[in-house]
Structures are given as C-alpha cells and as structure tokens.
Copies of this chain bind each other. A is one copy, B any other.
Amino acid sequence: MAREKRKIEELSMWEDARAMIRKAQAEGIETVWDRLEEQTPHCRFCELGTTCRNCTMGPCRISPKKGGKMQRGVCGADADVVVARNFGRFIAGGAAGHSDHGRDLIEVLAGVAEGECPDYGIRDKAKLVRIAEELGIKSEGRSEMDIAGDLAEVLFGDFGSRKAEVAFLKRAPESRRETWKQLGMTPRGVDREIAEMMHRTHMGCDNDAPSTLIHAARTALADGWAGSMIGTELSDIIFGTPTPSESTANLGVLKKDQVNILVHGHNPVVSEMILAAARMPELVARAKDVGASGINVGGLCCTGNELLMRQGIPMAGNHLMTELSIVTGAVEAVVVDYQCIMPSMVQISGCYHTRFITTSGKARFTGATHFDIHPENAMEKAREIVALAVDAFAERDASRVEIPHEPVPIMTGFSNEAILAAVGGTPDPLIDAMKRGAIRGVVGIVGCNNPKFTQDSMNVGLAKALLKKDILVLVTGCVTTAAGKAGLLMPEGAEMAGPGLKEVCGALGIPPVLHMGSCVDNARILQLCALLAETCGVDISDLPVAASSPEWYSEKAAAIGLYAVASGIETHLGHPPNILGSDTVTHLATEGLEDLVGARFIIEKDPEEAAERLDKRITAKRVGLGWNP
C-alpha cells in the first residue's frame, strides 16, 4: 500500500462514486477510504496471521524471522498453528453469517406453516413441493402448510447434532461425497461444525494446521451445502423463484422528487415487507402530502440483490457505495438487517436528514433508530418505518442534494430454474454449447469490494477478460452492480464477448454475465455445478468451471471461497487472507488442496493474469473431458 494519499481516480473506477467522494471531502465527511489511509500500514503480525489472542497467557506474536525469538506463543503454538486457528475462526465467522441467515428463513417457513406469520406465505408452491419431495417428504394429498411444516423440521435438523450429513449434500456427485468422507470433511450440522471449529481453536486443542484446515473446509461446506443453500431455497419458496427481468443500477436510481428508501444488509425477510409497505396507496399518498411524487425503494449490497432478483428494484450500489449513497443527500432512510453494514453509516446519516434504521436484534447500531421486527409483526413495523422515511422527506436539504449520473439498464433474475428454462428445460443444450467450445467454461465472480482495490476495477476487469475467452460469467453479491454498471448485464454486453459466447447469448437473448443473486445465492452456483457434473457423469472438479472473488473483504467471502474449493472448484482471490505467516497453511491453500479435493486457491491481483490462470484451468479440464481445448 503506497503511503502517499491516493487520487480519487484510484479509489473507484466509477464516476458516480468519484463525484460522491469529492462531495464527501468537500463536506468534511469521513469515508472508508480515509479510514483505510489512517489504518495503513496495518500491523504486520496481524496481516501475516501470526497474532494470537485466544487466551490471556498472551496475546502472542510469532516473528516472521525464522530461527530468532518469538517463534512460539506462550503455550507453545507455532506460526502454523496460530495461522490455521485464526483462519479457522475467520471461516467460522463467515459460515455463521450465512447460516444464521438460513436459519431465519426456516423460522419464517415454520411460522407460516403454523399460521403465526400472516404477512408471509408460500409464493412458489411448486418449488415447495419439489424441494420437499427431494428431501423425502411426501406431498401427495397433503396441504401446503403441512408440507411446509415438515420441510422446516427437516431443515432445522441440519442445525442439530443428529445427522451424519446435511440434507442437500445428496445433490453433490457421489465421488465428491466419497472424497469428503475420506477426508473427514462431510458436514454434519451447520452450528455443530461452527461450534467445533471454535472448540478446536481453543488453546490446547487442534495443534496441527492441516487438521484445523480440514475442519475449516467442513465448516465451509456446511455453509455452502446447508446454511446458504437453505437460505436460497426457502427464500425462493417464500418470496418466489426469480425469473429474468430488467432493472437499473448506480446512484442515479435515486429520485430527486421522491422519498428514497435504501434497503441494506442480506436478508429479504424484512426488506420484502418494506417494499410492500412502500407500495401501499396510503403511504404513497402520505408521500405526496409531504411534496414527494412517490416512494422509491432502492437496493444496496445483498438485501438489494435479493429484492432485485425477485422484485426488480433498482440497485443504488454495492459495498463501497453504501456510505456514498447517503452523501447524495437524497436518502430519507437506510433500512438495514444484518451483515456488511458499515457502522460509519450511522455517523454519515447523522450528517444529513437520513434516518438510519435497524431491524434485527442481532445487529444493533449505537445511535440508530431501532425497530424490533419479528416475522410476526413485520408488516406493521414496515409501515411505521416507511412512514418515518416519508416524514423525513420534509427535512431534506435540497441545496445539499447531488444525484450523479443516469442509471444504466441491467437484466437480472437468473435462478437455476430460469437458466434451465432459457436453454430449453434441461442442462443438455448448455453442456452441448460447452462441449463444442462456444462456451469454453463458466466462472462465478462473487463477493465484495475492498478499499484496498480501485473499486470494481478487478471485478469488471476480470469479467471482461473472461468473456473475451468465451467464458460465461455468473455473478452474485457486490459484483452484480459492478457488472451492471459496466454494461455486462444486458444482452448488448455480448458485444464484448468472444465469438462463441456472443453467438450463444445472441441466440438466447441473454447477457454474457448472468446475475444469480445475493451472496447466500452462491449456493445456486454450487447446485448448477453439481447438476452439470451429474449430467456429464463426472465430478465437479472435472468440469471447466472456476470461481473468483477479486475484491473480497469479508469472512463470508472466505467461507464461500473455501466451500467452492472443497467442492472441487478452483477459486481465485484478488488478495490473500491473513495466512502468509505460515508456509504450511499457504502451501496447503494454494497447492496442497489440489491433491485432496481437486482444486485450490489462486492468489493474483492482476485481472488479466487471473483470467489467464483461470483459463488455463478451464483448458486443462476441457482436455481432461476430451472436449476441444
């Protein structure tokens, strides 16, 4: 990290972001980039992952100078053990985030089945029946609510200690499950693996880095194949399975003459109600009473993705746009649930008329307005929140409003169901296109922004480089808005693709980059890979597919990366997790895992180079399958 102040052009590739950074600077508002500058250089020990605070004989630091002092913590743990433990807990944090989110959906489903959540229902009854049958629940002649109740019960079981493996694991190819079994990586229960990860990393438990990492992978697999997958499937059942639709993206989606409400966080349970409330005639009328022409609900981060996928709301921005959205001065309320919500948003909201509203008991923010929302009272509270936002409109200071840029059009809604429907109902046409090389491979680009990178430059750079190589790109989470702003989420984006991919997109009328949802929805990509592998009669690690999280920052992103790798999907990261202080851990992540699970991590900060390396993997896999490279 250079020590001289970075120019605004280096902070973000986007004009809407740059304009708002300039405005923030002019108004004396501190943003994430200012704080990164203060925090740079970071503590070297912490960056290497060799700091331990797991007991009060320490805290301890392991020196990177081999053979000198401080080679072991007070207990005797060496760099390998400390790094592995820290990484294990990092993964546990990510898996816990996704999975606790998944649990919340089960609770809503159970509440619906028990008639206790009148504001929610079953929007995709066919999917309810399909998933229930898949998990061995009889549906014939039974009421929807009975089926839903049984489904909730089976899935609650995935959060217990009684199962040998989580329910959706049977979606994975037999050979993959055998690999997991051999390695002791089969996820049994979501919470159980998380708790065991915490136990193993207590002083005096797991003191063998590979053993700790294997359990970290098991914990990540519990996230991917249970926590996240449950989150996705139940959200579809409750709120509807996404189908392709059009929307818009960037800060220009904010409306000068409307009450602007931004939903932020990850879970659709509250935000769906906010959207429904905002569409209620009496609240729209109230908005008109205060001089607005209507109520505009925009999305941030993954709650945004959830509502974009299913309801087509416009996307105001991704992670690094969340602070900046408030700086427009045009936001009446930011309504948040949990995860990835910068605490600084409370302070920035306080610089404007913006109401910062928390809705989850799990994510309180000092200084925020809190509404204690449960599935039982959600609609009532949502109405109160929207009313509060409407009333705030009167306080908006027009002289401080600056909404940059026109919004760009995007296409969204590519659930697996929608993708299969687009190609004719079975995966065969997709596999045919892959076999003949029109689509040479598939890469999921997922994850966040990180102020250490010029915002979205890696996300967009990598996507563009892959498209040129006829590699179909799938996006979720914060990469969505990046791809959207770059024009890659529209069929016209196929102009930027290689000839094969361009032809396929043209024939189907789809963009070269498909938006598959929020970060829990990476489970859709897992499921798609499993389906392709099954159809081809091979393991997931044999497919010409890969993953990338170029600008990742969160524990969830690390968990996603690890479940992808453990599922056989080679995964690129734009920068490493804090593991470089251990040769054993670093080698295992970037090399050794290949022998164990048939995939590994690639760490590469140049997007072109990353594209080359992913392409190399895809080419090798094509050769392995006997497909022309």
Binding site for B on A (CB under 8 A): 30, 32, 35-36, 38-39, 42-43, 45-47, 49, 51, 53-61, 69-70, 72-78, 80-81, 86, 89-90, 92-97, 99-101, 103, 106-107, 156-157, 159-162, 184, 189-192, 194-209, 211, 215, 265, 338-347, 361-366, 450-452, 552-556, 575, 577-578
Considering the chains assembled together, what is the distance between the CA atoms of A203 and B78 in angstroms?
Answer: 28
Decide if B344 touches A199 in the complex (CB within 8 Å): no
| Chain B residues in 8 Å Cβ range of A100 | 195-196, 199
How distant is A312 from chain B, measured CB to nearest CB, in Å?
A: 25
- Are A74 and B363 in contact, with the CB atoms below 8 A? no
With CB as the reference atom, state the residue of chain B lying closest to A191: B191
Could you tell me the distance between the alpha carbons of A511 and B190 in the complex, rounded to whole angstroms? Answer: 46
- In the complex, what residues of B have CB within 8 A of residue A97's CB? 198-199, 202, 205
Using known A-B contacts A61-B39, A208-B366, determine if residue A93 contacts B53 with beta carbons closer than 8 Å: no
A196-B553 in contact (CB<8A):
no
Closest to A365 in B: B207
User: Would you give 15 A-B contacts (Cβ < 8 Å), ordered by A?
Assistant: A72-B343, A74-B451, A75-B343, A89-B89, A92-B198, A96-B195, A96-B196, A103-B192, A184-B361, A204-B339, A204-B343, A205-B338, A205-B339, A207-B363, A208-B365
State A522–B180 Cα separation when bound (angstroms): 38
The distance in angstroms between the C-alpha atoms of A560 and B374, with both chains bound, is 31
- The residue that A35 contacts in the complex, of B54, B73, B575, with Cβ under 8 A, is B73
Most buried by B among A32, A161, A199: A199
Whether A96 lies near B35 (C-beta < 8 A) is no
Give the complex CA separation of A38 and B62 in angstroms. 10
A404 to B25, CA, bound (A): 70
Bound: A561/B214 CA distance, A: 32
Judge whether A207 and B366 touch: CB under 8 Å: yes
Q: Which of B56, B202, B265, B575 is the one whose CB lies under 8 Å from A575?
A: B56
Given contacts A39-B73, A56-B578, A57-B553, 19 further A-B contacts (CB under 8 A): A35-B72, A43-B43, A49-B53, A55-B554, A55-B555, A76-B345, A77-B343, A89-B93, A94-B202, A96-B195, A96-B199, A97-B205, A99-B199, A100-B196, A103-B161, A194-B195, A204-B265, A204-B338, A209-B366
Contacts of A35 in B (CB 8 A): 72-76
Q: With the chains together, A30 CA to B74 CA distance in Å?
A: 11
Are B450 and A56 in touch, CB under 8 angstroms?
yes
In the bound complex, residues from chain B placing their C-beta under 8 Å from that of A86 are: 53
Q: Report whether A205 and B74 are in contact in the complex, using a CB–CB cutoff of 8 Å.
A: no
Contacts of A95 in B (CB 8 A): 198
A49 to B554, CA, bound (A): 20
Chain B residues within an 8 Å CB radius of A72? 30, 35, 343-344
In the complex, the answer to whether A206 meets B59 with C-beta atoms within 8 Å is no
Q: How close is A477's CB to chain B, nearest CB, in angstroms?
A: 13
The CA of A170 and the CA of B51, in the complex, are separated in Å by: 41
Min distance, Cβ A456 to any Cβ of chain B, angstroms: 15
Please, how many angstroms separate the alpha-carbon atoms of A345 and B38 in the complex? 42
The CA-CA distance from A444 to B75 in the complex, in Å, is 26
Q: Are B363 and A206 in contact (CB under 8 A)?
A: yes
Query: What distance in Å separates the Cβ of A251 from its nearest Cβ neighbour in chain B?
Result: 20
Given contacts A96-B196, A201-B93, contact A51 B51 (CB under 8 A): yes
A450 / chain B contacts, CB cutoff of 8 Å: 56-57
CB < 8 Å neighbour of A46 from B59, B75, B89: B59
